[in-house]
Amino acid sequence: MFDNNKKNVVIIAIVLAILIILANEFRLNWMEKKLTEELDGKILATMKLSENENCSIYSMSLNEDGKIEKYFGDDSYDEILFAQKRDSDFICTAKNLKTGYYTILQVKENKINEIMTSQTHIMYPILLDNDEEIVFVQGSCLYKYNIKNKSLTTIYDDPSTLINNPMILSDDSIIFATDENILRLYSNGETEKLARGISPTWLEQGKNFIYFDNKERSVIIYDISTKIKKVIKKNISIRSSIQVSPDKKYIIFFERREGGPTVPFLKVMTIDGWQAKKGISKYSGFISPIYWIK
């Protein structure tokens, strides 16, 4: 009798475990479908749809159809990266195939203007609100370029590290990431370490930002005024910069899939940390930070 009871308990436990797994799977599928239905807007990213094509900027719809369309491309340029849209124009970096120089492009009303050129790669350009200055990164250096005077100023230089994702505050200080840390550079030249991590992105501009701690493998929100950190997701790997949706409800990024397929996997996450997957397999090579537009 005892053995039969023991067997019954084991069977019941197994059945309950299976039911829990199935219920959880159903819940995840339902939540993923619901999230996908609620998503709005498009992302911009650099893609190559064929080996014979130059790198161009494509838009991808975030709703269920996942439609991909060319947003900007020009036969005179390759390596078109770091697209950032504004009200009536957008800027990006590119390589001029005729001159061999790298440039920052401003595209407005279908007209292309080369703001500045350089012999080396230009990354993370930010056109300031006055349209007279642009901040950008080259390797270990952070620069400010005056478009009118064509003068270049070195803002920060540390040969021991690389810089990414600069963000400008109202007091002209700049938040950016190095290989390991997120720093704030003040106008007097002093720096303050804000956090260990990479890829900071505004959540609410000037108030808080989201970043990735690659050692703890966590996505974190940092409040600038209180300096409080809030972990919203653990045990995750990120292959791209994080982008925030225009309504501030979601973040999006490409996941690094350890030991898996080389094709990037798009992840959409609610601000409270629940995530859904959206596979991308229509292009070869994801090589640029993404940008979310309405």
Residue 37, φ and ψ in degrees, nearest 5: -65, -30
Contact 231, 238 (CB under 8 A): no
- Give the C-alpha distances (Å, rounded to integers) separating 271 from 5, 11, 154, 225, 231: 47, 40, 36, 20, 10
In this predicted structure, what is the pLDDT of residue 268? 78
Cβ count near 84 (within 10 Å)? 17
Q: H or E stretch including 134? A: strand 133-138
Residue 292 C-alpha from the chain's centroid: 9
- Its pTM stands at 0.80
Cβ count near 162 (within 10 Å)? 16
Count of residues in the chain: 294
| Confidence grade of residue 252 (pLDDT, cut at 50, 70, 90) | confident
Residue % of the chain over a pLDDT of 90:
36
Contact 58, 66 (CB under 8 A): no
Is the pLDDT at 155 greater than 90, yes or no? yes
In this predicted structure, what is the pLDDT of residue 163? 93
| Confidence grade of residue 31 (pLDDT, cut at 50, 70, 90) | low
DSSP-derived letter for residue 99 is: T
- CA dist 282 and 39 (Å) reads 20
CA terminus-to-terminus distance, the chain: 67
Is the pLDDT at 262 greater than 70, yes or no? no
SS3 189: coil
Tens digits of per-residue pLDDT, 179-233?
889 999 998 999 999 999 988 999 999 999 999 998 888 999 999 999 999 998 8
- CA dist 273 and 287 (Å) reads 25
Is the pLDDT at 256 greater than 50, yes or no? yes
Tens digits of per-residue pLDDT, 66-89?
788 888 888 899 989 888 887 778
In this predicted structure, what is the pLDDT of residue 4? 61
